[in-house]
Amino acid sequence: AVPLGSKIGDIIHIFKDTGFSRIPVYKKRIDQIVGVIRAYDLAEASAEDPVDKIVRPIRYLPEFTSLPNVLKGFKQFKDHMAVVVDERGATMGIITLEDVLEEIVGEIRDEFSKKEKRMIKRYIQDKVVVDGRLELKEVEVLMGVKLPEGPYETVGGMIIYLLGRMPKRGETLTVDGVKFTVLSINIRRVQEVMIEKLEGEKEQEG
């Protein structure tokens, strides 16, 4: 986090060093988060400008907010970071969209061994059953399609994000001509999904 009044030129290195796309901004004390700055907003300011010029509002969430509701809020407000506060309004920490997806899906960047866990389970005629942790780029190659980009990397992550909640077993979602049917889930993630390429379908439905 950086304090209000900091010069843009003095904090650019934080984005470069950490690789973060967003950094919280605080007033006086680090637990008084008042906003957030985004890396791509830096182009709108000069090195001598204070961060105040590009700081954006940040939402506050009660500590008891459920993960599905946190995810719903991120999708509704199109932001990726919020401040978690306790019942007295004291700051408890920061939560990001990636934190939520990792918790629900199960570490979307997990470097699991494909030899130990086959991501492509089986083929059923023109359909394929895959593990929910299969990366979308693999689906694109497998099905010969282009899927929408977003703050997710896996099949399960995309389904949860687009629905705004954990799916139910048997629930379907059609995205850009590809139908995803959830075959199994557990408390943490989408386990198995059946994927089918549809002809002439270009709409998203749930």
Instruction: Supply 34's token pair.
Output: 């008042």
Q: Are 77 and 59 in contact (CB under 8 A)?
A: yes
Q: Provide the pLDDT for residue 173.
A: 95
Q: Say if pTM beats, i.e. exceeds, 0.85.
A: no
Domains in the chain and their CATH numbers?
2-106 (3.10.580.10), 120-197 (3.30.465.10)
- Taking only the tens place, the pLDDT of each residue in 137-185 is 888 877 888 898 888 889 999 999 999 888 999 999 999 889 999 999 9
Please name every residue paired with 83 in a beta bridge, in sequence order, or none if there are none: 60, 94
Are 197 and 144 in contact by the 8 Å Cβ rule? The answer is yes
Each residue's pLDDT tens digit, 161-171: 999 888 999 99
